[in-house]
Structures are given as C-alpha cells and as structure tokens.
Amino acid sequence: MAEIVILESSEEASALAAQRILHHIRAKPGHNLGVATGATPLSLYRQMASYAREYGIRIDGVTAFALDEYLGLAPGSPHSFHHALLEHFVKVMGLDPARLRVPNGVAGASGEVGAEFEQEIRGAGGIDCQILGIGSNGHIGFNEPGSSLASRTRVTMLAEETRRDNSSHFSCLKDVPRYSISQGIGTILEARHLVLLAFGSRKARAVAAALEGPVTASCPGSAIQLHPSVTVFLDRDSSRSLSGLDYYTQSWQNQPESPSWRFAR
C-alpha cells in the first residue's frame, strides 16, 4: 500500500514532500528526477530549494525529466511546459538549465519523439524519483482516461475536461493545445520511487478513485497502486472522499517513530 500523508494545508504537505524527495536526492546525488508541471508542485519546488540550502544538500547533480509537453508549442513559448519548468523548477532550484530534459513538442506528431525521450531516460539510467500531480479526471502526465496502463511516451489527445482545467493559463479555451507528448503510464511505473501530490476539493474524487478504486485505465492515477514505492501527499480537502481517511490520518499521526526521511528543524 502507498504511504499516504495527509496534512491540514497544501503548504505543510509540500514541506514534507520536499523532505521525502531530498532524502532520495541525498542518497544519490546524480539523481534523475521526474518533474511535473501545473499549480500543485509550485510550493514543493520552492520548499525543496529552501531545505536543500538549509541542510547543505547538493542538488547540482540532479537531472530533471519532464513528464509531458504540449504538442506544437516551441520551448520558448510562455505556455510551454519547458518554459514553466525553467521558471518554477530550474530557476528556483538554481540548476543549470542544460540539466532539464523535455520532450520536443515542436517535432510534430511523429512516433519518434516519444521513442527518443524514452531512449534519453534509459541512457541516463532511468528515473529515480518521479513527482506526479493528478488531473481532476484522474489523469497522470497527460495520460487521459482510457490510456493503456502499459503505455510508453507518445502523442496523446487531451480530454476536454483537461483543456478546460488548463485554460486559465491561456487567453482562451481555443488556444489550449489538443495534443501532448506524455510519458506513458508504463514509463512512469518504471521510476524507482513515485511521489504524488494532490490538493484542493477539486481533486477529491480523483484521489479516492486513484488510491482506493480498482486499478483501471478509466482512472490512470490508479496505476500507482501497482508500484512498490509510492508516497502520496494530500491536504484536508483533497482527502475528503477517501473511505479510509481516519485510518490513514491516525497511522500517520500515531506511528511509533518519525519516518527516516523527515528532517528535524
């Protein structure tokens, strides 16, 4: 079962997630970190930078691999995930921008882009820790409901719900791309550790389906149940629909020892 950590606020949950990930990075400084975009990990990235400074953890050996990219947007486009990761991850963490790898969204809808990105991940020795958010319809990366649980990095079509959710970053809905290049669910499951974050009541339904529902392509997030090393960080609102809520909260609060990855402050 996944380790499920539920805190009152997203800030508190992000602080613990930052510690969890830095614990992995400290154990392997030449770390391959899978990074997600979206609003969810913004505080996580800020807090990772601050804990790394405070505890003298070297992060300059980290190579970051993006989960996904919109198809048809140039890396310099302010709407591209490449741009978002440079701004919100690379700059914040003080990393060399050359250490960020993003699938090439301008190369067109060829199968080769996915295969090349997979090759890059494999050539680097695989992803050590993959950070994940979850869409309100249960998507991870841009693997929408119906995606094969064995899928690899490829072109995917965005669900209308996802386009609407992401439209606030664009001037209007019609500007939101219809396709992406996304790591597949099979690719994501090959990372050595998964850290999933979800905040806010809008995510409650997807969180319950992913953690407690059947493992099904109808909820791509449910695939994390197949992975042996998963930590999930939730706030109060995103955890509301979990039927095991009391159990998860109590087992987190009443564990005999603090987990090894928690930092003393």
The binding site for ligand GLP (CB under 6 A) comprises 36-40, 67-68, 133-135, 141-142, 162, 166
The rounded distance, in Å, linking the Cα atoms of 219 and 234 is 18
The rounded distance, in Å, linking the Cα atoms of 135 and 205 is 10
* Least distance (Å) between residue 208 CB and ligand GLP: 16
Residue 4 or 210 having the CB closest to ligand GLP:
210
Strands 32-35 and 129-132: parallel
The rounded distance, in Å, linking the Cα atoms of 47 and 131 is 14
* Least distance (Å) between residue 257 CB and ligand GLP: 31
Residue 16 or 197 having the CB closest to ligand GLP:
197
* Least distance (Å) between residue 265 CB and ligand GLP: 26
* Least distance (Å) between residue 143 CB and ligand GLP: 9
Cα 114-37-125 angle, rounded to 5 deg: 50
Residue 143 or 249 having the CB closest to ligand GLP:
143
9 near 236, Cβ under 8 Å?
yes
* Least distance (Å) between residue 70 CB and ligand GLP: 9
* Least distance (Å) between residue 188 CB and ligand GLP: 10
Q: Which residues are CB-neighbours of 146 under 8 A, at least 6 positions away?
A: 217, 218
Residue 225 or 251 having the CB closest to ligand GLP:
225
Residue 57 or 157 having the CB closest to ligand GLP:
157
* The pair of three-digit structure tokens given for residue 246, joined into one six-digit string: 């009391």
Cα 16-39-68 angle, rounded to 5 deg: 100
The Cβ of residue 103 has, within 10 Å, a number of other Cβ atoms equal to 27
Q: How far is CA 245 from the centre of its chain?
A: 22
Residue 54 or 175 having the CB closest to ligand GLP:
175
